[in-house]
Chains A and B, each alone.
Chain A
Amino acid sequence: MFPHPVTRRQLLERCSIGFGSIALAGLLAEGAEMSTALPGALSQLHHAPKAKHVIFCFMSGGVSQVDSFDPKPMLKELHGKSMPVKVERTQFNNNGNVMASPFEFTPSGESGLPVSSMFPEVAKVADELAVIRSMTSPVNEHAQGNFFMHSGFPMMGHPSAGAWVAYGLGAENRNLPGYVVLQSGNAVAPHGGVSLFSNGFLPAQHQGSIFAADRADAVRNIRPLDEMTRQRRRLDFVREFDSRFLTRAAENAQVEAAIQNSETAFRMQSAVPEVCEISGETQATLQRYGVDSGDPELAAYGRQCLLARKLVEKGVRFIELSCLTRNIGAGGAANPWDQHGELARGHKRMAEQVDQPIAGLIQDLKERGLLEETLIVWAGEFGRTPFSQGSDGRDHNPLGFSIWLAGGGVKGGTVYGATDDLGYHAVENPCTIYDLWATVLHQLGVDHRKLTFRYGGRDFRLTDVHGNVLHPILA
């Protein structure tokens, strides 16, 4: 009858306390940063990890596979003709004829991986990429597709992959969150809103923290309203009261954690602006990422990529990047790649935005020896139809699309899976989003079936009850 001893998970579940709370003793030491890593829910990894960080380049709106990484010569042959196979339901039901890609594919790198002319810079690092051409999603609309891509469930309420990673692995840096979402310029949360970055039912410190990469106050309320010395005085004064309260509260662990938490917040005020500051970077680096570009969206995305590297250096576990809209063909702020019309121009302009920065990121990470421990995931929530929508757009296609992984123990220059001759359905080694996250977790040293959280009478996973590690793309 006597209660079971409290497990670590129960403790987290019941009074989930902020980063900083588990290792209370460690917190008291000022100044230490990387040295006081905070353990995650997993007391030990399930196997030796290949990667420690994830950078998720989310291509919101859906990139066309047949225009990016999945060349389909047959589209050229059939261009303008009606689809030779059954056309599945599309979201706009304004289906035209087969539409050839306006882009050319070139075998790139030593591996000869075909990359379309949309991505000339990424093509230069083709030997780092493992392209999955047979990705599928059960969802054909943005919001639910985004939820699915992020959490494995098509609606709000479930933890995002970044939150799972932060929860499972803990933080390497107690002054920065484990899961950071970068935005800059006109970037906003994709359809579905900030709940896409939610901790769901996991403890709240694992939710994605949005950093505005190009703003002085990168995080909400991070800019002190007072001079730091004044603020320090206030906190010290408050601490006098708090410690008396703590005594009255019989050293209640939660109250104690809350008190420590104020200190973390205080330190974040300098840690965040510090990590967001790019003035220390060389001109060559800025150029490589496109930060100095005259194209404002390219420059803004470049800044996110550069910041992603800095966050990796600081030990942040999971970093998600946000595209900026070019306002072409239905691609709005929440779904910039959504070219239901003007696909050729829209995709070209969107690709220009991310091509150089991402290629720069990969090269930079590699030169700094960080690519080995950083897994880059490049994906949209679905692909696009090989036939046109209206005259010059493409509708959503979740039945078969391309994504790629790089770094973090991935076998570069690989192609895995295939779609049919039209690039419509995944036919060879079809993959699910669960497979993707199972693989990502695997590289982080985690068995996706064993990273669970009990909620509402079930042990939930990022991969629900599915998912297989995609070993063929791993080195």
Chain B
Amino acid sequence: MTLRPTSMDGIPAHGSSWLTSSCLVLALALFSIDGRAETPANEKPAHDKIDFFETRIRPVLIEHCYSCHNSSETAEGGLVLDFRQGLLKGGDSGPALKPGDPRSSLLLQVIRHELEGLEMPSASPRLDKSIIADFETWIRDGAVDPREHPPTQEELAKGPDWAEVLEKRKQWWSFRPITRPSVPPVTQPDWCRNDVDRFILAKLESRQLAPVGDAAPEVLIRRLFFVLTGLPPTLEELELWRTRFNSPAERDITVSQLVDDLLARPQFAEHWARHWMDWFRYADSHGSEGDPDIGEAWRYRDYLIRAFQSDVPYDQLLREQIAGDLLESPRLNETLQINESAIGPAQWRMVFHGFTPTDALDEKVRFVDDAIDVLTKGTMALTVSCARCHDHKFDAISQADYYALFGIVGSCRPGRTVIDLPEVKNTHVTALQNLKQQIRSKVASAWLSALPELTQQAWTPAPGTSITPAGSLFFPNDPTGPESGQSDLSRDWIRNRKQWEEEHQKTKEFLNHPDVQVWNMGLPQEDSHWIPTGTGPELNEPDAAAWTVALTGDQILADFFPKGVYTHTLSTRHAGRISSPDFTAKERQNLWLRICGSGRSVARPVIQHYPRAGTVFPIVTPTEDWKWQRMDLNYWNGDEVFVEISTSLDAPIPTSREERSWFGVRDVVIAPHGVDPPARKFRDAHDLFFDERIPAPASVPDLKQLWIQQMSEAIHAWQSGELSDAQADLLAAGLESRLLPNEFGTLPEVRPLVEEYRRLEQEIPVPQRVPGVSEAVARDQPLFIRGNHQTPSDPVPRRFLEAIDATPYATQQSGRLELANSLLADDNPLTRRVIVNRLWHHLFGSGLVRTPDNFGRMGEEPSHPELLDWLALRFSDHHWSMKQMIRELVLSRTWQLDSFPGSDATERDPENRLLSHASIRRLEAEAIRDSLLQISGQFDSTRYGPPVGGGSNRRSLYVAVRRTALDPFLRAFDFPEPFSSTGRRDVTNVPAQTLMLMNDERIRGLAAAGAASVLQNPKTVNDLEKIEWIVQAALSRSASVEELQFLKQYIDDSWSFQKTQHQLRQQKQETLQQLQLRDSDLLAQARIKLGTSPQKSAPPSAGLVSPVARWNFQNGLQDSIHGWTLKNVNNVMIEGGAARLNGTNYLVSTPLTVPLKEKSMEVWVELETPSQRGGGVLTVQSSSGEVFDSIVFGEMAPQEWLAGSDYARRSKSFQGTPEREAIQHPVHLVITYQKDGTITAYRDGLVYGKPYPVKSLVEFSPGETVVTIGLRHLPAGGNRYFQGRVYLAQLYDRALSADEVATSYRSSTLVETAKRIMSILTDEERLELKQNREQQTQLQADIAALPETEPQMALSVWTDVVGAVFLMKEMIYLR
């Protein structure tokens, strides 16, 4: 009975090989033939069998079967497995088992996956072999089953015992400790270059497979370039390295030199940074409606590039991803003056965000899940996210684990991190503080000495203001102030004091209301528990009144502020954000903020950490005046909220780009509806006057005296740094009313100090911000029962996965630092295995574990487990250096093998898991795009910086990853949607790829550019050299003789095609000329019939204004006013009273002899084709064309008229209706430039779209200004040419009014003529003319695309060749 491994001593068949089980099946078959299957030789005692069931069978049934096959809820297929009778009775497919007869037991067949469509457990991997063997044993032994009754619902709900399940699941290979395997012996040690090879070879030898030979030098060079840098070698590089492969002896040295060269290149860092970006689903925007930027996400990308460049150890880099902002000794970049480590946590913010969700907690659960998913997959290849609703179905991950991590991630607030080094953040801070003191000292003493004089002045409003100290301080809204003498001062005083008391009382009631929560921001921060970040709030001492220096203008001081938090006490460039402790919004509550600010700073209640604003997520933008701002929280009743106030660029999702932005805040209050702060009539300064100890002044001089006294005390208090809120406000009032001298003119001695202050302040750099998270008071997350966020259960302590270490983190913070430590702990078996496997994957085309993002039960097992462990330890032993690991792997003989499999391998290892040869793989999307750019000579190697569009020639990793608009080219080649961790990209094969390479205009353009560079290259004179060049550039190898023949044939073929094309062009041109003649004929005949010419001088009409220039193309090209003459460039046809522009020619005038600033340009114009983009009809410009104003068609938007200008400085879409008529008859266009900068367009006498203002108009000087017709501006070229007819062009030296334009339009005979000409034609003629013109348009387009000259033909031929090479599969595959 040796064939029964489980029988003799009860030791289960754990670890028994597949081979053994197969034999067992065979053996059983024999048994049954013998008819002895049901009478095993050695019967086990009954209690053993029960024991066997209890330990081996029942737990498996509970864990894998009960949920779908139970007596109380679900019995799929009619089958229940939760008690004996159910098994015996079976389901729709008959009894589940036949005791004693495993072979005829359905249960065994389905768990063995022998029945298609009935593989059980469903949606799971096959059960472990040992478990299947247990079932077999159990059935054979009679299927003893003590379960008389089905479990109760409670028993069922309890499920399997998690502790037991966990223990069992921890036996899965990836959870077991990393072993330290020894390097295995091999029979051919000489074959091996390093230990990696020994592992590989040992396995190959044990399978009697032989590795193939080494890859050819060309193949190896190409492979190294692409795998290490993502780019092909240039021709020079290919040549250089190829020559070094002369002898086998040199090979190793050459390869290692090349590897070192490539590893040191920035392109290596770019390429591998992109891999990392896949692991952390990098994106530049958050997705959904509005798709807002993840502002400065690109700094994270650049950080990764720098990290790969300088080979930052993996453990360091990983630590930074999790908690780089919290590290005690962060990695500082002295060159860039930034804290590199602080950039890492930007990955937390790469989450998808919905748009204004009404269930904000649901949204939080979703985006925290996103973060947990990416983190755990990316670093440990575990699908922790699968345990959100229940314990993991297959892996050693509990639901509690998920919520332990949720507590960590969910405790961090979305934010922005300033990454400047402290010395940069603190640029000039001390100097500015010192200067401020000096300014204070000078200003204060000047004020004190000026005070007595102030009583002499009449307290009338200061020039330019309506504020008097009286008006602003004492009797607001009282036009009969004390100075007027019309009121009884003491009566008014008493009345006001009473009102002031009432107001005070109301404020007090508001702030002391029992249901009101107040944060007094004028207290020290540690008292308020608010969290300040940035630089501004850190500099500001909230418990002291503040004041600011004016940063521009003639004023010295800008303002005084009461105690509170400010970001701008030194500079409005300083960054700032403060956020409150968490609270739960209740029904009918308002959030009140007493704030001020400028530069689009924002304040908002942050609901469930949702960072976007919109509809039910309110924000307020503070104004420069103190205001109580209210936001209703009623909607968010029950949700968790904190308050956040930030400068423009420090909001988690900035809504504006203001570099100078600031805010100040005094009070933050949560109050029930109806409990509101009083409307304010009095200001803080009044407190100094209405104090009951101060008698009411009897007269104006008394009042002035009182004022002087308070002011004097305030100035003294300011000097000594003990300014009260009321005193600060009094000084502010003094500034507002301009009663206190505050100008360079009156305080000249302060001027140098202020100027120095401003100079230094200007030098403060704009802080560099990155997306980040910030710490708050952390909280454990309650577990959500069945993942439902509306059914929270007990909080789970913040900790790591219990399968590794379940000790709760001892920290008040989120626990990110601890999480980083757990990931990198020596006893965490996953992190190191996962990263070396990822590196292996990118080097070899697939990992030792082929599911790099899943090391769990649903993933695959490693092909070489010992090697994986050996590498994992070697990696951490060698300082976690990714470059070193990559170097070691590519220097292995295994990596450098040829890709052509040996015949044994094809048969016995078709998937090449044993690596007897290299695997063929397709290039990634970026490498394909980058190759096309490099081959075509268009590659722009600029590094770093904000993302670019796909049309750019920069490397693909710089192309913006906008979630709602991913680049179509990259997407077609499987660029991943930024949605989850992607360790292994799909490699698909869709027609869109070929269509893109075959028909995309841009790709064709690249082919043409490649062709042009071959044609211009002095090294490639004859066809053969050109061919060689192209083949080598694209395929990194020489063409074979046979291939050369094919190419030659193809080129000949292409040439003959081009020649026919050339002939076709000539034919078409002839046809076109005939059509044009016929066109003119038709019009001429019509005009003769009409007895009119289109430009017969118009009858004088009232209201018609004289132009300064007028070209009507009746009598040559001279302007009929000043005689400015047009030069005809490239043969503009002047026919039928129009200048006929064909898209390659134009007219340019002699210099104008009058100046032009305010002006109008007027034309009658007809379009040849509505599809043209950017042609200029009439342009006034400097002689060089550097500065110009032009009537342009279709430039910014298709078919729209535009006031074109140099670099669009004075251009903006009028948003006019797209032009549809000017193709059939001329239309009248006028653009006027008004003195105040308003630019208005008119079409056929009516305003076209919307006028818009510009800052200033250009002055065109006489002698240096010319006019062009048919060209947007000089120099001629590109899309500046116009196609169509211009019948009249006039210029005015002033802006015509709407009436004048209308008059000019109406009085022109042209409009009439155009209609009449059309009307005089017969229907046939009209149709002919229409068709004629359509044909002309088509022909012109055709002709433009056909080759005219020999060089053009050559370009087409070689474009054809390069285009063909782009389609070759060899170009996008790596051997």
Using a CB–CB distance below 8 Å, which chain A residues touch chain B?
A: 1-3, 6, 14-21, 43, 88-93, 138-144, 154-157, 191-195, 198, 200, 203-205, 207, 209, 219-225, 230-231, 233-235, 237-238, 240-242, 244-246, 248-250, 252, 254-255, 257-259, 261-262, 264-266, 268-269, 334, 450, 452, 454, 456-459
Q: In the bound complex, how far is the Cα of B1369 from the Cα of A457, in angstroms?
A: 33
In the complex, B965 has a CB within 8 A of chain A = yes
A-chain residues with CB within 8 Å of residue B616 when the two chains form the complex: 89-93
CB distance from A313 to the nearest CB of B (A): 21
B-chain residues with CB within 8 Å of residue A231 when the two chains form the complex: 998
Task: Check A225/B995 contact, CB under 8 A, given A140-B358, A230-B1057, A254-B989.
Answer: no
Give the residues from 257 to 298 in chain B that come closer than 8 angstroms, CB to CB, to chain A: 287-289, 291
Q: B615 near A244 (CB under 8 angstroms)?
A: no
Q: A241 near B1368 (CB under 8 angstroms)?
A: yes
The 8 closest A-B pairs by CB, nearest first: A157-B979, A193-B964, A457-B383, A143-B288, A265-B994, A204-B988, A459-B123, A265-B991
* One of A19, A191, A264, A452 near B123 (C-beta < 8 A): A452
Q: A457 near B1367 (CB under 8 angstroms)?
A: no
Task: Check A143/B355 contact, CB under 8 A, given A155-B366, A234-B1367, A458-B383.
Answer: yes
A-chain residues with CB within 8 Å of residue B1004 when the two chains form the complex: 225
Q: A155 near B354 (CB under 8 angstroms)?
A: yes
Q: In the bound complex, how far is the Cα of B1373 from the Cα of A452, in angstroms?
A: 31
Q: In the bound complex, how far is the Cα of B1369 from the Cα of A254, in angstroms?
A: 10
CB distance from B1214 to the nearest CB of A (A): 19
B-chain residues with CB within 8 Å of residue A257 when the two chains form the complex: 989
Q: In the bound complex, how far is the Cα of B635 from the Cα of A258, in angstroms?
A: 55
* One of A203, A237, A457 near B1364 (C-beta < 8 A): A237
Q: In the bound complex, how far is the Cα of B849 from the Cα of A179, in angstroms?
A: 34
A-chain residues with CB within 8 Å of residue B358 when the two chains form the complex: 88-91, 140-141
In the complex, B887 has a CB within 8 A of chain A = no
Using a CB–CB distance below 8 Å, which chain B residues touch chain A?
A: 17-18, 116-117, 123-124, 287-289, 291, 352, 354-359, 362, 366, 370, 373, 377, 383, 385-386, 393-395, 615-616, 635, 853-854, 856, 858-859, 863, 899-901, 906, 911, 913, 920, 922, 963-966, 968, 974, 977, 979-980, 986-996, 998-1001, 1004, 1040, 1043, 1046, 1050, 1053, 1057, 1360, 1363-1364, 1367-1370, 1372-1373, 1375
Which of A90, A139, A156, A457 has the most CB atoms of chain B within a 10 A radius of its CB? A457
* One of A141, A142, A246, A265 near B998 (C-beta < 8 A): A265
A-chain residues with CB within 8 Å of residue B979 when the two chains form the complex: 155-157
Q: In the bound complex, how far is the Cα of B979 from the Cα of A459, in angstroms?
A: 17
Q: B377 near A456 (CB under 8 angstroms)?
A: yes
CB distance from B1162 to the nearest CB of A (A): 33
Q: A233 near B920 (CB under 8 angstroms)?
A: no
Q: A16 near B854 (CB under 8 angstroms)?
A: no
* One of A157, A204, A209 near B986 (C-beta < 8 A): A204
A-chain residues with CB within 8 Å of residue B288 when the two chains form the complex: 141, 143-144, 155, 191-192
Q: A258-B1373, A265-B994 are in contact. List 13 more A-B contacts (CB 8 A).
A: A16-B987, A139-B354, A144-B355, A155-B366, A157-B980, A193-B965, A234-B1367, A252-B920, A261-B990, A262-B994, A456-B377, A456-B383, A457-B854
Q: B995 near A268 (CB under 8 angstroms)?
A: yes
* One of A17, A91, A238 near B1368 (C-beta < 8 A): A238
Task: Check A234/B1360 contact, CB under 8 A, given A18-B988, A191-B288, A248-B900.
Answer: yes
B-chain residues with CB within 8 Å of residue A452 when the two chains form the complex: 123
Q: A142 near B355 (CB under 8 angstroms)?
A: yes
Q: B356 near A6 (CB under 8 angstroms)?
A: no
A-chain residues with CB within 8 Å of residue B359 when the two chains form the complex: 89, 138, 140
13 of the cross-chain contacts (CB-CB < 8 Å) are A16-B987, A18-B988, A143-B288, A195-B966, A203-B986, A220-B996, A234-B1360, A237-B1050, A241-B1370, A244-B1043, A255-B920, A262-B1367, A268-B995
Q: A6 near B986 (CB under 8 angstroms)?
A: no
Q: A264 near B615 (CB under 8 angstroms)?
A: no
Task: Check A222/B1043 contact, CB under 8 A, given A18-B990, A144-B354, A237-B1364.
Answer: no
Q: B386 near A191 (CB under 8 angstroms)?
A: no
Q: B998 near A250 (CB under 8 angstroms)?
A: no
CB distance from A100 to the nearest CB of B (A): 25
Q: In the bound complex, how far is the Cα of B1364 from the Cα of A143, in angstroms?
A: 41
* One of A193, A221, A266, A454 near B963 (C-beta < 8 A): A193
B-chain residues with CB within 8 Å of residue A193 when the two chains form the complex: 287, 291, 963-965
Q: In the bound complex, how far is the Cα of B507 from the Cα of A250, in angstroms?
A: 85
Residue of A nearest to B360 (CB): A89
Task: Check A203/B1367 contact, CB under 8 A, given A141-B357, A265-B998.
Answer: no
Q: In the bound complex, how far is the Cα of B1004 from the Cα of A221, in angstroms?
A: 11
Q: In the bound complex, how far is the Cα of B1000 from the Cα of A1, in angstroms?
A: 47
CB distance from A325 to the nearest CB of B (A): 15
* One of A192, A246, A258, A457 near B964 (C-beta < 8 A): A192
CB distance from A461 to the nearest CB of B (A): 9
A-chain residues with CB within 8 Å of residue B1040 when the two chains form the complex: 244
Q: In the bound complex, how far is the Cα of B358 from the Cα of A142, in angstroms?
A: 11
A-chain residues with CB within 8 Å of residue B856 when the two chains form the complex: 457
CB distance from A465 to the nearest CB of B (A): 8
Q: In the bound complex, how far is the Cα of B288 from the Cα of A143, in angstroms?
A: 5
CB distance from A239 to the nearest CB of B (A): 9
Residue of A nearest to B984 (CB): A14
B-chain residues with CB within 8 Å of residue A192 when the two chains form the complex: 287-289, 964
* One of A15, A156, A245 near B1373 (C-beta < 8 A): A245
Q: A16 near B988 (CB under 8 angstroms)?
A: yes
Q: In the bound complex, how far is the Cα of B612 from the Cα of A144, in angstroms?
A: 15
B-chain residues with CB within 8 Å of residue A246 when the two chains form the complex: 1369
B-chain residues with CB within 8 Å of residue A20 when the two chains form the complex: 991
A-chain residues with CB within 8 Å of residue B996 when the two chains form the complex: 220-221
A-chain residues with CB within 8 Å of residue B899 when the two chains form the complex: 249-250
Residue of A nearest to B354 (CB): A144
Q: In the bound complex, how far is the Cα of B1367 from the Cα of A230, in angstroms?
A: 14
B-chain residues with CB within 8 Å of residue A141 when the two chains form the complex: 288-289, 354-358
CB distance from A7 to the nearest CB of B (A): 10
A-chain residues with CB within 8 Å of residue B986 when the two chains form the complex: 16, 203-204
* One of B385, B859, B968 near A220 (C-beta < 8 A): B968
Which of A43, A140, A224, A452 has the most CB atoms of chain B within a 10 A radius of its CB? A140
CB distance from A451 to the nearest CB of B (A): 11
Q: In the bound complex, how far is the Cα of B360 from the Cα of A443, in angstroms?
A: 36
Q: A92 near B615 (CB under 8 angstroms)?
A: yes
B-chain residues with CB within 8 Å of residue A155 when the two chains form the complex: 287-288, 352, 354, 366, 370, 979
Q: B988 near A457 (CB under 8 angstroms)?
A: no
Q: A457 near B394 (CB under 8 angstroms)?
A: yes
CB distance from B430 to the nearest CB of A (A): 49
Q: B1370 near A245 (CB under 8 angstroms)?
A: yes
